[in-house]
Amino acid sequence: MDNLFVIKIGGNIIDDEGKLSSFLKDFALIKGRKILIHGGGKLATNIAEQLNIPQQIIEGRRITDAETLKVITMVYAGYINKNIVALLQANNCNAVGLSGADGNLIVAHKRDHLTIDYGFAGDIDKVNNEWLRKLLENDFTPVISPVTHDKKGQLLNTNADTIAQEIAKSITDQYKVTLIYCFEKKGVLKNPDDESSVIEKINFLAYMT
């Protein structure tokens, strides 16, 4: 079974031109098959503010109204995604930029919450892993933005960490998958408010308990 790296990057890398360039140089050097999932960083929020589109965050999650969805799609699936693809091409990595709507890659549904209306936020139903496999087998490196669709014509804003998780899970019967999250914390924390509470090792048994 071939190895596959599924790597997710967030705003701490995307928002820093130097860090992004350095990361993508290293990413391009990874031998074998790999998938990159990215978040959006601060750019969508900054552009929304410039356009006088109010932004609301509840419990760390963005409320995606119709106007915000337009900005997110333009920034995440547009500029950020294609900028990453161009930088990878400059490093001889044959990247292809995708959203969840492309090739029916990720089907999701509008989040249904008992007390909070998250707007056009999406929770994942299915990953088209067969199409991903075809891309990988033809030596393409997918670069995936956090925009999905419901197969009824509606785009949805979906958490990039969840996308990375679901892609990794969906394709484990075809590859030996290593899932890596790149973020600014020192690791997974027992206490989110305590930077020193890093969980040194997580196994299946610990997760279940």
CATH 3.40.1160.10 fits domain 3-208:
yes
Specify whether the CB–CB gap between 119 and 72 falls below 8 A.
Answer: no
Query: Hey, where are the domains in the chain?
Result: 3-208
Task: Dump pLDDT digits (tens) for 133-166.
Answer: 999 999 999 999 999 999 999 999 999 999 999 9
Question: Cα separation of 86 and 199, whole Å?
Answer: 36
pLDDT at 94 over 80: yes
pTM for this entry? 0.90
Task: Dump pLDDT digits (tens) for 36-83.
Answer: 999 887 888 899 999 999 888 877 777 899 999 999 999 999 999 999
Question: Which residue's structure tokens are 């891309």?
Answer: 135
Which stretches within 112-197 are classed as H helix? 129-137, 160-170
Return the closest-CA partner of residue 27 out of 93, 101, 98, 76: 93
Task: Dump pLDDT digits (tens) for 117-135.
Answer: 899 999 999 999 999 999 9
